[in-house]
Amino acid sequence: MLSAKPFRRLGQTILLSLGVLALGVVWDNWGDMVLPQKDAPALSGMTTEAQIEQGRYLALAGNCMACHTSLGGPALAGGRRIDTPFGGVYSSNLTPDPQTGLGRWDAQDFWQALHLGRSKGGRLLTPAFPYNHTSVIAREDSDAIFAWLNTQAPVAQPQPAHSLVWPVGTQAALAVWRSMYFEPSPFVVDKQQSAQWNRGAYLVEGLGHCAACHSPRNALGASGAVNDLSGGLMPVVNWYAPDLTRDAETGLASTPLPEIVRLLRTGASASAQTNGPMGEVVQHSLQHLSPNDLQAMAVYLQSRAQNAPEQALQSPRQPARISLQVANHGTKVYERHCLQCHGEKGEGINTPDGKVAYPSLAGNRAVLMKDPTNLVQVLLYGGYGPVTKGHPRPFGMPPFVLELDDRDISAVLTHLRTQWGNQASEVTPLQVNRIRAAQGH
């Protein structure tokens, strides 16, 4: 007869291990709250106009307004729904209202939120707030942003309850997720690089939180490190954020620095235009940054692209083998809807002062991208660049979501990707259908 003792001991061992693991998760997320508090870093004392202005500038650099303002609502009062694969998250109220905003917070509470992703009182924040990136922000800059927020008009607007699927939004689930994927990343100066390079790295990895879009996410929603710029499909919004370290996808390694700066500042350069989510970033954030900061970001991004490990050499692309029926159909759709703006040979049109009105499609990196998601998105919903001081009246492309079906779109995109020296794979009706369905159309 088998003894029950070994099984009892095994059960006790498992329970003990789970208990130790649970204690480790709790300590990892709240352990510092039960320890004697270290003295907070010295603050700057009385708030000055210079500090407030610095905070305003940094809040623009971080694009705080975009997420913390609901459509048509008061600025920074929160309430904007941010959709995730696990449900909706509503942004918090950043105005100094004492009941629903930050009115009862101090600079230390705000710093803890940025650095640890934890609200006043210890509540863990959802990672829709990119606290892995805000943990990069220096204490001086955190205090400046908080000082500026305190100058805003208080708005009494409670944060709506998140609509995340259970148990994703629970504190226990957040604690486990954070123990697996979150580690504060204070910025460390690379002494082998210039001050300009380090400033660019600080902006890209912290306030710019570029990797929040330009790095892949796993099944649990975790993105790469704050400096991971390897590209990936953005969940829910369904745009592909290109790999910023691959010249084939962005041209950052080979584009002259002034043109990179121009793209960041205006949304358009001689060889590229921003659209979709990146267009919004230029519209609401990047165009407001100083020339020095934009130059620093360009220097850092170009350095990353130039120093990335060489991609494995691929055999030359072979022209896609497409049927005569698809080729003829694509040609007809192009002639009917595209030729007038993009030219008979995909050469595009420039304005008299040399600016791009309608981009060339021949040799266009966006056209040749392995993942055709962005091409389908632009054709469905239109292509409109941001309105900026340096590009006040961008030309645009109308949406064709109601005019062209999946077969039309796949045929014309295949036409673009196989003409004028372009050599890229065919776009199929099934690919178009999946992208259209993901957007609910």
Q: Spell out the domain ranges in the chain.
A: 49-181, 195-306, 324-438
Q: How confident is the model at residue 272 (pLDDT cuts 50, 70, 90)?
A: confident
Least confident span in 3-7, 267-271, 430-434: 3-7
Mean pLDDT for the chain overall: 88
Q: How far is 70 from 67, CA to CA, in rounded Å?
A: 8
Q: What's the rounded Cα separation, in Å, for the pair 283 and 274?
A: 10
Residue 313 has pLDDT above 50, yes or no: no
Determine the Cα–Cα distance for residues 244 and 308; give it in Å rounded to an integer: 10
Give the residue, 271 or 441, on which the prediction is more confident. 271
The C-alpha atoms of residue 255 and residue 258 are separated, in whole angstroms, by: 8
pLDDT tens-digit map of 97-148:
999 999 999 999 999 999 999 999 899 999 999 999 999 999 999 999 999 9
What's the average model confidence in pLDDT over 278-287? 93
**pLDDT per residue as tens digits for the range 329-352:** 999 999 999 999 999 999 988 888
Give every CB contact of residue 56 below 8 A, 6+ residues apart in sequence: 148
Q: Are 236 and 83 in contact (CB under 8 A)?
A: yes
pLDDT score at 315:
45
Amino acid at 281: V
Residue 362 in tokens: 């021949």
Q: Which residues contact 437 (CB under 8 A, 6 or more apart)?
A: none
Q: What is the pLDDT of residue 11?
A: 60
Residue 228 has pLDDT above 60, yes or no: yes
Is 300 a residue whose pLDDT tops 50? yes
Query: Phi, psi (5° rounding) for residue 343?
Result: 90, 160
Whether 273 shows a pLDDT value over 80: the answer reads yes
pLDDT of res. 333: 95
3-state secondary structure of 282: helix
Angle (nearest 5°) at CA 131 between 237 and 241? 30
Percent of the chain whose pLDDT exceeds 70: 87
* pLDDT in the model for residue 39: 47
pLDDT reported for residue 393: 78
For the stretch 50-90, pLDDT in tens is 999 999 999 999 999 999 999 999 999 999 999 999 999 99
Task: Identify the H or E element spanning 373.
Answer: helix 373-381
Joined together, the tokens standing for residue 155 give: 């708005």
Residue 309 predicted with pLDDT over 90: no
pLDDT in tens, 189-205: 999 999 999 999 999 99
Q: Which of 247, 268, 439 is nearest to 348 (CA)?
A: 268
Q: DSSP E strands: which ranges in 279-429? A: 349-350, 356-358, 383-384, 396-397
This prediction has a pTM of 0.88
Exposure on the CB side of residue 135, measured as CA atoms within 13 A: 17
* Helix (H) and strand (E) counts in the chain: 18, 9
Q: What is the pLDDT of residues 66-77, one digit of tens each?
A: 999 999 999 999
Name the residue with higher pLDDT: 123 or 20.
123
Between the alpha carbon of residue 182 and those of residues 118, 129, 223, 246, the distances in Å are: 12, 12, 10, 27
Beta-bridged to residue 396, according to DSSP, are 384
Domain 324-438 is found in CATH 3.40.50.12780: no
Residue 259 contacts residue 279 (beta carbons within 8 Å): no
Taking the C-alpha atoms of residue 131 and residue 112, their distance in angstroms, rounded to an integer, is: 10
pLDDT tens digits, residue range 407-429? 999 999 999 999 999 999 999 99
Give exposure, 374-413, as e/b (b: 16+ Cβ within 10 Å). bbbbbbbbebbbbebeebeebbebebbeeebebbbbbbbb
pLDDT(42) > 50: no
The yes-or-no verdict on residue 22 having pLDDT over 70 is no
Distance (Å, rounded) from C-alpha 240 to C-alpha 374? 6
Q: pLDDT tens-digit profile of 135-190?
A: 999 999 999 999 999 999 999 999 999 999 999 889 999 999 999 999 999 999 99
DSSP 318-367: PPP---HHHHHHHHHHHHHHTHHHH-TTS--EE-TTS-EEE---TT-HHH
